[in-house]
Amino acid sequence: MLILASRSPQRRAILEQIGVRFAVVESDAQEIETGDPAEVVVANALLKARAVAASRADGGASPDDLVLGADTAIAHAGEVIGKPADAEHAREVMRRLAGRDHHVLGGIAIVGPGRGERTACVSTMVRFRPLTAAEIDLYVATGEWQDRSGGYAIQQRGATLVERIEGDYLNIVGLSVVKLLRLAPELRGDN
């Protein structure tokens, strides 16, 4: 069975969509916030997966269990843009990204007893269209920016901010299915 080490409803929905059986065990791992953005998301995914795998090792985890850790960050101009702290910070992030490219980085880690650790990073380019102050205010008023890397949800009203993407759409939502199945092809049997 797959154990999802995440509280993300988007990751849950993606796994349900592709028919993978899974259970959720939230990770209490302390995430890192500084460093090369691609390395940070992979390290955080691995920290989450390792923490849950360790907590399950004492509780009779099955040798067939795999733990999936995932992390998402937005990188723009070499810097990580995290989750906005408040509405004004969300406006600032929107102004910074308006009319420009940024990369959504998805870190994935698979940990299994006796099966080692497998990791990957997926990068998807997103270009926001130019945005007026009124458009930014309208989006921020939706509240979708809360608890979201980069302050938007592309699968919801955040789609109105986007001019184009290059790469894996589901990576932007929260989990690259293509990369997950490459890392853990055994999950295809659950479909």
- State residue 145 phi and psi, 5-degree precision: -65, -20
Contact 108, 70 (CB under 8 A): yes
Write the CA distances from 130 to 45, 58, 111, 162, integer angstroms: 32, 52, 41, 9
In whole angstroms, what is the distance from residue 102 CA to residue 143 CA? Answer: 21
Contact 94, 148 (CB under 8 A): no
Phi-psi region of 138 (alpha: psi -120 to 50; beta: other; left: phi over 0): alpha
Greatest distance between any 2 Cα atoms in the chain: 55
The residues assigned a catalytic role are 71
Contact 105, 123 (CB under 8 A): yes
CA-closest candidate to residue 108, choices 152, 19, 56, 170: 170
